[in-house]
Amino acid sequence: MGTAVDAANKETNGSLLDEKKVTVVFVLGGPGSGKGTQCANIVQHFGFTHLSAGDLLRAEIKSGSENGTMIQNMINEGKIVPSEVTIKLLQRAMRESGNNKFLIDGFPRNEENRAAFEAVTKIEPEFVLFFDCSEEEMERRLLSRNQGREDDNIETIRKRFKVFLESSLPVVEYYNVKGKVRKIDAAKPIEEVFEAVKAIFTSKDEKGKTKHSRVHWCGIL
């Protein structure tokens, strides 16, 4: 019997988008920070393809493929889906998109994800778009939205926020040291947030590279 990694590998042979210069932007932020809304705006205005690691895993499970069954079994057993499995799904989606500019949303979730992504794809992100928002504001947003999500209760929200701080912030800090973090004040109204996002992507397009500025962490915790 194979593993989820074996099943993923069978579906993704060859290197990723060999002929193209691939631009990857990691999009990170706590639950309720507004990543999804802003990703949709970036797709519309700047022609990126938006890839959500969580959505790809759910779609693979729903497809009923061998790989999807393996993933579902691992989740049912309380196991963590290996980074390589998620990365292979991302690679396949990138190839199938026909694009060469990607927003990868909610991944890497931790340092192991990050190291595996770079090792497997040989791609470093152009930058990390980090949506900085207080826990209080994210709680307010998640509790007030009406999406029928069972995980939008105060206890679960706080657990998700704690996981984000412990697992994902080290990824942000790693890229911050490399001058690759672009921090957005995500507590502002949607329109103002997108104006800040647009300035980052416009600067990238005009100059061929983004400005390098280190993020100071005094207000995040």
Residue 170 assigned as binding residue: no
20 is in an annotated binding site: no
* Adjacent-strand bridge partners of 27: 105, 129
Tell me which amino acid residue 169 is: L
In sequence order, what are the beta bridge partners of 49? 102
Q: According to the annotation, is 106 in a ligand binding site? A: yes
To the question of whether residue 36 is assigned a binding role by annotation, the answer is yes
Instruction: Tell me whether residue 160 is annotated as binding.
Output: yes
Annotated binding residue 145? yes
Q: What is the bridge-based pairing of β-strands 127-132 and 181-185?
A: parallel
Q: Annotation-wise, does 47 bind a ligand?
A: no
79 among annotated binding-site residues: yes
Q: Is 9 annotated as a binding residue?
A: no
Q: Tell me if 204 is assigned to a ligand binding site.
A: no
Residue matched to tokens 């984000």: 164
Q: Does 34 appear as a known binding residue?
A: yes
- On whether 64 is known to bind a ligand per the annotation, the reply is no
| 214 annotated ligand binder | no
Is 80 annotated as belonging to a binding site? yes
Is 176 annotated in a binding site? The answer is: no
Residue 109, annotated ligand binder? yes
2 is in an annotated binding site: no
Q: What b/e string do you get for 99-128 counting C-beta neighbours within 10 Å, with b at 16 or more?
A: bbbbbbbbbbbbeebbebbeebbebebbbb
Order of strands across the sheet with 23-29? 49-52, 101-105, 23-29, 127-132, 181-185
Q: Which of 21, 93, 109 is nearest to 50 (CA)?
A: 93
- Residues annotated in a binding site for a ribonucleoside 5'-phosphate: 58, 79-81, 106-109, 149, 160
- Residues annotated in a binding site for ATP: 32-37, 145, 188
- Residues annotated in a binding site for CMP: 113
- Residues annotated in a binding site: 32-37, 58, 79-81, 106-109, 113, 145, 149, 160, 188
